[in-house]
A and B are shown apart, each in its own frame.
Chain A
């Protein structure tokens, strides 16, 4: 007696010689798990080289189906479509045959939507196709992630470019404000937002042209536009000619362009990060995620770091200083930018940072090693942990920690170093104060 075992991502079908499905075992409907099963059937493993012969295998559904069959004492031959499947089955003790694209397999593939409804796995054919659509997209995404050679470095360069742009903008805008203040000094105080300031100068230029309508066209609110127009009329600044203003306006429009490039880079980073590190992105967003990868050097480096290192990534200076002086180590590095850390009271920050770093370590490893998408789950777990911290540590701790540490008398407050003479910059969260 012969029976045909046909595998599909939805599950395994056992078909008899009359084209009747005798059994069906479903694969998990959950997309993430279904992707895993699909990869097993295909014989796809991370980092597989192009042209390497893949050895497909049996999904967990197919294995279950065969085990049941074995227990019931089935004696006969099972026909498969691939060597990989048949080898596994023969090691389970079955007689096997391989006939690729056999009639029964075609029958299953012709009716797979109906069959998945008939066996109660799907409510309707529409549901099956929606599910398959999601599945195929997710399978592709997972494969792309793993062949994403160095695409993480694209995000790294983009985020470093953002930092460069910020420095350049700060430099240029300081110059622009000073220069334009010769003509319209009052604007400096009225418009604090650099992007907007540059736009007003670039688009309008002369303060005489600053009417309420014109300003509103640039997206300013009514009352601010009125204030500026008013101030322009009464300005104490010097009159400038068109030639004088032309150079200024060129500078201003370059600043504007830099802002727009910055926005584009943020979008670009989101696009790349979604592809190479969706789990890290789910936790901390694309830009902070890219900064972490940038500090680690690559996604691979980040994936190989223990959570404790991730926690202080970006605060290396503070860490080394602490090691050198025996002072307090930083509680957080760049992850200080995570809203739930910097917005929380100080005594909660270290705990939240530890919780976040632990999840980030899992996220980075998952992104790098398996490419699975478990972002939502990680996010929920982190949320729960943060809520717990906020509940349990609602009140600031008693001052008992003071006694614990034998701080040298020179230090003013618990464990902190006396201020540096040169007023060196303090980077990284741990030392920032409001």
Chain B
């Protein structure tokens, strides 16, 4: 039996993210469903005061986990444009799509045809999702299909992700734009005993114009990853 919703309100720190209170006293994270009636990955739908909300599963979405772990802020807001690397079947992108709303744009890059088949179906339902079947290591190959964006989100699970992120930022991210990146990190206290790989990735980001604003580990929702939040300072290239 589905639990009754007893209250819904906006998250005090993260605008456009909602908290659903259920009758048994438990709470869920959610976003307002842009396409009412439609699920994306089997998540629960909740109705409250004429609005529909989609549960944002903190075990399935690293961004949701980062919010629960108290990341400094959620910079994504309605009307934003974003470049999303590693869109997969669109679990996290679908919630970002809810947040940015009809005025926003999410350009989702994914190179695996199998998952892209599902992602493109999602894009057909949501006019703010622009699918790109391409390799995030080669931003020049899709430079003509997107635009310069307010934000960059990366979750491509590649060993040299920082470099990939920086290359894409050079091509697309506006000066002062924000960047969120899921990064592999075993040790929970990422700042104290950072692993070698982790430290190198951070170094690359700093050298390429990123100002690191926050790092949170996603344990216990995702034991192997941390989320980096940074701001990009563009350097001139003639």
Which residues of A are interface residues toward B (Cβ below 8 A)?
7-9, 38, 41-44, 54, 56, 79, 81-82, 99-103, 105-106, 109-110, 112-113, 129-130, 132-133, 135-137, 139-141, 143-144, 147, 275
In the complex, chain B residues whose CB is within 8 Å of the CB of A42 = 141-142, 144
Closest chain A CB from B167 CB (angstroms): 8
Interfacial chain A residues near B77, Cβ < 8 Å: none
B interface list, Cβ under 8 A from A: 105, 107, 113, 116-117, 120, 123-124, 127, 130-133, 138-148, 170-172, 174, 234, 236-238
- B116→A144 contact, CB < 8 A: yes
Bound state CA distance, A141 and B116, in angstroms?
Answer: 9
Complex contacts, B127 vs chain A, CB 8 Å: 129-130, 133
Query: Is A43 within 8 A of B141, CB to CB?
Result: yes
Nearest Cβ distance between residue B117 and chain A, in whole angstroms? 6
Known: A106-B234, A132-B130, A140-B133. A38 touches B144 (CB 8 A): yes
Which residue on chain A has the smallest CB distance to residue B131? A140
Given known A-B contacts A103-B237, A144-B120, A147-B113, A137 and B131 have beta carbons under 8 A apart: yes
Contact A102 B237 (CB under 8 A): yes
Residue from B105, B117, B234 having most chain A Cβ neighbours under 10 A = B117
Chain B residues with Cβ below 8 Å from A100 are 140, 170-171
A103 touches B238 (CB 8 A): yes
Residues on the A chain within 8 Å of B147, using CB:
109-110, 112-113
Min Cβ gap B102→A in Å is 10
Residues in A whose Cβ lies below 8 Å from that of B236 = 103
Q: Can you list 9 A-B contacts (CB < 8 A)?
A: A9-B145, A41-B144, A101-B171, A102-B237, A106-B171, A109-B147, A129-B105, A137-B123, A137-B130
Residues of A with C-beta under 8 A to B145: 9, 38, 132, 135-136, 139
Q: How distant is the Cα of A63 from the Cα of B174 in the complex, in angstroms?
A: 29
Chain B residues touching A, majority SS: mixed
Give A136 to B110 CA distance when docked, in angstroms: 13
The answer on a CB contact under 8 Å between B133 and A139 is: yes
Give every chain A residue within 8 A of B120 (Cβ-Cβ): 137, 140-141, 144
Choose among A41, A81, A110, A140 the residue that contacts B148 (Cβ–Cβ < 8 A): A110
The residue from A9, A99, A144 contacting B113, defined by CB atoms under 8 A apart: A144
Contact, CB under 8 Å: A136 / B170: no
Asked if B141 and A56 sit within 8 Å, CB to CB, the answer is: yes
Q: Which residues of A contact B107 (CB under 8 A)?
A: 136
> A137 and B124: CB pair below 8 A?
yes
Q: Name the one of B105, B141, B238 contacting A99, with C-beta atoms under 8 angstroms.
A: B238
For the A-B complex with A132-B130, A136-B107, A147-B113 known, give 19 more contacts whose Cβ atoms are closer than 8 Å: A9-B144, A42-B142, A44-B141, A79-B238, A81-B140, A101-B170, A101-B171, A103-B238, A105-B143, A105-B171, A109-B148, A129-B127, A136-B131, A137-B120, A137-B123, A139-B145, A141-B120, A144-B120, A144-B133
CA distance A144 to B234 in the complex (A): 35
Q: Cβ of A7: which chain B residues have Cβ within 8 Å of it?
A: 143-144
Assembled-state Cα–Cα distance A130/B144 (Å): 16
**CA gap between A135 and B131 in the complex, in Å:** 10
Closest A residue to B129 using CB positions: A133
The answer on a CB contact under 8 Å between B116 and A140 is yes
Residues of B with C-beta under 8 A to A136? 107, 123, 130-132, 145
Closest to B235 in A: A103
Q: Give the chain B neighbours of A79 by CB distance below 8 A.
A: 238
Identify which of A101, A109, A129, A139 gathers the most chain B CB atoms within 10 Å of its CB. Answer: A101
Asked whether, in the complex, the Cβ of A140 is within 8 Å of the Cβ of B172, the reply is no
> Can you name the residue of chain B whose Cβ is closest to the Cβ of A43?
B141
Closest to A147 in B: B113
CB <8 Å contact, A109 and B133: no
Contacts A38-B145, A109-B146, A129-B105 known; A82 to B140 CB distance under 8 Å? yes
The CA of A79 and the CA of B238, in the complex, are separated in Å by: 9
Q: Which residue of A lies closest to B141 (CB)?
A: A42
Distance, CA A80 to CA B124, complexed state (A): 33
Kindly list chain A residues whose C-beta atoms are within 8 Å of the C-beta of B131.
136-137, 140
Nearest first, the 8 closest Cβ-Cβ pairs linking A and B are A110-B148, A109-B148, A101-B170, A136-B130, A101-B171, A140-B133, A8-B144, A41-B144
Alpha-carbon gap, A42 to B138, bound state (A): 10
| Nearest CB of A to B137, in Å | 10
Q: Which residues from chain A contact B124 at a C-beta distance below 8 Å?
A: 137
- B144 in contact with A101 (CB, 8 Å): no
**In this complex, what residue of A is CB-closest to B132?**
A136
C-alpha gap A380/B131 in the complex (Å): 30
Q: Which residues of B contact A137 (CB under 8 A)?
A: 120, 123-124, 130-131
Q: In the bound complex, how far is the Cα of B143 from the Cα of A41, in angstroms?
A: 9
Chain A nearest Cβ from B143, distance in angstroms:
7
Please tell me if the beta carbons of A54 and B141 are within 8 angstroms of each other in the complex: yes
- Residues of B contacting A103 with CB < 8 Å? 236-238
- Which A residue's beta carbon lies closest to that of B113? A147
- Give Cα distance in the complex from A109 to B173, angstroms: 10
Q: Report Cα–Cα, A8/B105, bound state, in Å.
A: 17
Nearest CB of chain B from residue A3's CB, rounded to whole Å = 12
A235 to chain B, nearest CB (A): 43
CA distance A112 to B101 in the complex (A): 20
Bound-state Cα–Cα, A132 to B127, Å: 10
Residues of A within 8 A of B133 (CB): 139-140, 143-144
Q: Chain B residue with minimal CB distance to A54?
A: B141
Shortest CB-to-CB span from A46 to chain B, Å, is: 14
A86 to chain B, nearest CB (A): 12
Task: Let me know if A133 and B174 touch, CB within 8 A.
Answer: no
Q: Roughly how many angstroms separate A109 CA and B144 CA in the complex, as a whole number? A: 8
Q: Given A100-B171, A106-B148, check contact A133 B141 (CB 8 Å).
A: no
Check A56–B238 contact: CB distance below 8 A. no
| Contact (Cβ within 8 A) A56 B140 | yes
Q: How far is the CA of A400 from the CA of B112 in the complex (A)?
A: 62
Assess the B238–A81 pair: CB atoms within 8 A.
no
| Residues of chain B contacted by A54 (CB below 8 angstroms) | 138, 141
Distance, CA A275 to CA B121, complexed state (A): 11
Distance in angstroms between the alpha carbons of A423 and B158 in the assembled complex: 67
Determine how close the nearest CB of chain A comes to the CB of B129; give it in whole angstroms. 8
Which residue from chain A places its CB closest to the CB of B130 in the assembled complex?
A136
